[in-house]
Amino acid sequence: MDPLALIEDYLSDNENGMKTLITWFLNQVMLLEALHQAGAEQYERTDARKAHRNGYKKRSLKTRYGETILQKPQFREFPFETQVFGRYSRVEKALENAIFESYLQGVSTRRIQEIVAHFGIEQLSPASVSRIAKDLDEQVHAFLQRPIEQERTSINPLIFQKIGLHPPIPR
């Protein structure tokens, strides 16, 4: 796809143009990752090749501009790994952060679906919201269980009280 055509699409229709631009860019990133993982270009014969290409698999990714369908490369010898999205992730990080914030404020799963609809995602299953909330719970638990590097003692002068010599004077 021609990059200038992508820019023209974006200028004529911002929402759809941005979605097309993101789809094209992420597909290019995955092609480059496939090149590095395989050790050779597609159809290139070399001794450095680690894997052979085996077509593509369609993969959906929900972004703030709507759902995009990406072409994830496949290998015969081992699974293709990408940094574009996590292994089972179907939702962009910005959406996850919106769900995190809503969850922390005590918003119900059903209400979170309404909030996410403003990002252009028409359907987000309650199981997805629960999975994202579970990930957040695990991160919070890990944060709370981490060791404290150094013990600190501090006295807040606003709540420090002298105790002993004189009883408080009633007003």
Over residues 30-88, the pLDDT tens digits come to 988 988 888 888 878 888 888 888 889 998 887 777 788 999 999 989 888 887 776 55
- Residue 90, both tokens: 């179907």
pTM for this one?
0.54
Bridge-based pairing of strands 53-63 and 66-75 is antiparallel
pLDDT at 71 (0 to 100): 92
